[in-house]
Amino acid sequence: MESAGTSCPAALLRLGVPAQRLTGEGEFFGLIEKVEGEDDLFKLNLEGKRLNTILNNYKEEYKKAFVARKVRQKAAKEVVEEYHKKYPDLSNYVENPE
């Protein structure tokens, strides 16, 4: 996999995403890594030689990661709800009522 590193503001503007959100969520999803020792530089963990290709790959990988996160969150919520239905008395348990 070929990686691209950039600090180009035009890339951020084309995505239509605020820079902090881009880097924060990009790092969370493993799409972006900060360049060690540089506060304003990051490396994109994506394939592509042209900016358009890199941006399109970022969008696709971001969508996949976002959907996977939402699916995990929904599944976890359903498990908790099922547990509360099965054991309603335990969900209302208070250790030290006052």
Q: Give the pLDDT score at 85.
A: 85
Q: Is the pLDDT of residue 12 over 70?
A: no
- pLDDT value for 8: 45
Q: What is the pTM of this model?
A: 0.57
At 41-97, the pLDDT tens digits run 778 788 888 888 888 888 898 899 989 999 999 999 998 888 888 877 765 555 555
Condensed to tens digits (0 to 9), the pLDDT of residues 64-79 reads: 998 999 999 999 999 8
Do 91 and 81 form a contact (C-beta atoms < 8 A)? no
| Cα–Cα distances in angstroms (integers) from residue 35 to residues 7, 23, 27, 76, in the given order | 10, 12, 12, 34
